[in-house]
Structure 1
């Protein structure tokens, strides 16, 4: 590359070595930040990519774009506050759960996505193999635990107690986000034991952010609209 042309009577000013070095360091830092974001998103083990920018708020007016935008900030996660999303199937709960989790991971915090049943199975297997404490510690340390399909299947007493232990260890220290089809009044059907159900509900709902996604499946409506347009 030649020296930039300068009109007669002027002198071309080239960047100083210090300025060039600063530019290179800024580029390297930006690249390192991007790679760290990608690593944190991969570590979250989301089942599929979903971003909040792609959520169709106009198709589900129950969900406030302003409320969701606030949840992109990691402040509520650092405060250890829960997030509960309640609504019927097809109303966008999983999309929101993954999208919010992705935003938090890209903000630099650790995130883990798993269904409630899969978590209970993993805990039960770890207990049988006498490594429950190490697995519990791993789930306790993650900044945001995203639990999908919460209350979808009934749990036996042992499974419910293991899940309760997770919530107890994380309470007011680490954030937990839950997506559930079941309204609070029906949670006792999932956990069987009313006292245990009340204790779990208390830990999930204390100081929680609550999003109610409603009962009308916009996913089903989108399928119907597509068929009608053919």
Structure 2
């Protein structure tokens, strides 16, 4: 009776990890050999693990990462131009905490989006908030938000994220409104929050892409995105080719 009452109270207090640990100890004969301090320590550990896992699931759901990727699965093939020590440093997520931007460039299929999602997943593991956005769709949504009056609210939501991933810069032609909205997004985050940008365009081509007859806006975006940023320049053949071959072989 006392056991059931204790379980009920633990659940009412939302100590679900401890409640599960308590229930396990009651059902396990081996737990009786442990001291009170050891049993209590195990329950506290289970509560911490439960909360960490729940927080990770919540952050991943909010991030809406396009790829299921993690840093442990990064392919360091020599032709990709990826340095293990650099990636190990990025995996610590200090660049995110310090509001430093990261730029990943490379050819189509080179794994830019996958790598960005792996770093986004790692940030969630560290308890940091992440948001993944395909830049063309984001700018389209922001354009609509001007009409319904939600632009400032949307801007504030993006500004709060510890890491904002903007995927595929340069894939579509920018409108004047799109350039202005992109500048606002970057300006709200400058120096406080980190932004990760992926692009097929080399960085030295960005100014021409962002210009559109307004070099002042292009200068402002470049200054806020590129200045002081980390850069990864992926090289090599498309990473999608082996997958296609493997799929074809499975049908044979």
TM-score over 0.5 (shorter chain) = yes
Which residue of structure 2 aligns with residue 10 of structure 1?
Answer: none
- Which ranges of structure 1 fall in alignment gaps of 5 or more residues? 5-12
Return the match for 2:230 from 206, 209, 216.
209
The yes-or-no answer on 1:71 pairing with 2:90 is: yes
Higher relative contact order structure (alpha carbons within 8 Å, sequence separation ≥ 6): 1
More helix by share: 2
Q: Which residue of 2 aligns with 1:199?
A: 220
Q: 1:81–1:175: 8 Å Cα contact kept in structure 2?
A: yes
Deviation track 1:156-213 (CA, whole Å, cap 9, x = no partner) reads: 0011100110101101100000000011232223551322122111111111110000
Describe the SS at the equivalent of 1:177.
strand
Aligned to 1:8: none
Q: CA deviation at 1:215?
A: 5.2
Question: Are the equivalent residues in 2 in contact too, given 1:63–1:213 (CA < 8 A)?
Answer: yes
3-state SS in 1 of match to 2:77: helix
8 A Cα contact 1:88 1:181, kept in partner: yes
Q: 1:48 to 1:18 in 2, by over 3 A?
A: same
Match in the other structure for 2:61: 42
Which residue does the alignment assign to 2:100?
Answer: 81
**1:104, 1:111 within 8 Å by CA — same for their partners in 2?**
yes
TM-score by length of 2: 0.80
Structure 2 residue corresponding to 1:139, chosen from 115, 137, 158: 158
Matched with 1:189 is 209
- Whether 1:120 and 2:132 are equivalent positions in the alignment is no
Aligned length: 222
TM-fit CA distance, 1:216? 3.0
Change (3 A) 1:158 1:21: same
Distance in 1, matches of 2:33 and 2:59, equals 39
CA RMSD of aligned residues (A): 2.4
